[in-house]
Amino acid sequence: MSQKKLRWKSVMFGCCTTVAPSPESRRPELKQISLQRLSLMDKSDPSSPLSAEDISNSLIGLTLHVFTLAELEIVTNKFSWNNLLGEGGFGPVYKGFVDDKLRPGLETQPVAVKLLDLEGLQGHREWLAEIVFLGQLRHPNLVKLIGYCCEEVHRLLVYEYMARGSLADQLFRRYSVAMPWSIRMKIALGAAKGLAFLHETDRPVIYRDFKTSNILLDSAYTAKLSDFGLAKDGPEEDETHLETRIMGTRGYAAPEYVTTGDLTTKSDVYGFGVVLLELLTGRESMDKSLRSRGQSLVQWARPLLKDLKKLDRVMDPRLEGRYCFKGSQTAAALAYKCLSNRPKPRPTMSDAVKILETLQDFDECFCENLCNAG
């Protein structure tokens, strides 16, 4: 590891444990919490975030492993640069390999180990959020959290390894073969299912940072949502929205959230609309090649989505026409609704899933295109 990564700030964030305590040692007040989904904030004191001890006590019974730093050094070959997968606002991510020799009960598999850089853009709270949400929520379209490490000031997370990296890597990588239409629609459907699941839990989860770099892909291009550092529990039943500090990524945040800080599940729907637009166009949400409208992909493309005669100007030219014409119209109409400037006209993610499910039979649709052209 570099010297920068070793210069951890000398700040303690609550009590950390390397071995989950036994059920008998659970604090009484946490027994009731464990029957419901644990919230990031302690309800008795909204200003006090949960400590790592609270989490390890409350998540007993789930399949999270509490790793030691020494174990993760073994897994990643001492955080070798040869194992470095990338680095984001949270910190560097390393590829590793685990099996039952490291820890009884561990499935033999490659893993991704994310190491929190306390000098970076994110911190302890985002690390907690990852554990709180991914430790309790399981779905085929959410990346699987295998375990974590909280040892002195060190904060690490261990995930399933996603062989194809992020959607951003695949979609915007230069000098590569264009991603086929059928794969794009498969990814759109998987990502939509992940968001729909979050929105329909007993207490909805608002993802808040939906973007191509947070959608990871396995070897079969199955889309899985990752990076829950900015996720929030949705409003209570008697509330319509959350009032939060404005955070997220430029180009993906909903207009009403940017201007007022009001956050709802429809804010996520807008972000999904941006990603769907990126899948259609092959362009990034903030595109320097666009000279007009401040380089915003949405501002440039949205007026064209409702005009079928202009839709070909939106579609990714690298596809070379190899896409379903009717499917592209349906996807464009969905993106247009998701990108409404007002939240109410936007569809729910369940509605988006239903629409995208009709776009999965590419071969049949493409054959229809050829017949019509003939």
Which residues belong to the active site? 209
Q: Cα dihedral angle (342, 348, 354, 355), rounded to 10 degrees?
A: 10
Q: Contact at 8 Å (CB) between 194 and 228? A: no
Residue 69 CA to residue 362 CA, distance in Å, equals: 47
Residue 122 CA to residue 251 CA, distance in Å, equals: 20
Reduced to 3 states, what is the DSSP secondary structure of residue 317? helix
Tallying the residues shown for the chain, one arrives at 374
Residue 207 CA to residue 197 CA, distance in Å, equals: 11
CA distances 217 to 46, 108, 138, 159, 270, Å, are: 36, 20, 17, 13, 21
Going by C-alpha positions, the residue among 356, 355, 337 that lies closest to residue 347 is 337
Going by C-alpha positions, the residue among 309, 366, 357, 356 that lies closest to residue 334 is 356
Instruction: List Cβ neighbours of 42 (8 Å cut-off, separation of 6 or more).
Output: 48, 49, 50, 54
Half-sphere exposure of 351 (CA within 13 A, CB side): 13
Q: Give the full edge-to-edge strand order of the sheet including 145-151.
A: 65-66, 145-151, 154-160, 109-115, 92-98, 84-87
Instruction: List Cβ neighbours of 162 (8 Å cut-off, separation of 6 or more).
Output: 112, 143, 216, 217, 218, 224, 226
Q: What is the DSSP string of 193-261?
A: HHHHHHHTSSS-EE-----GGGEEE-TT--EEE---TT-EE---TT-S-EE----S-TTTS-HHHHHH-
Residue 136 CA to residue 156 CA, distance in Å, equals: 17
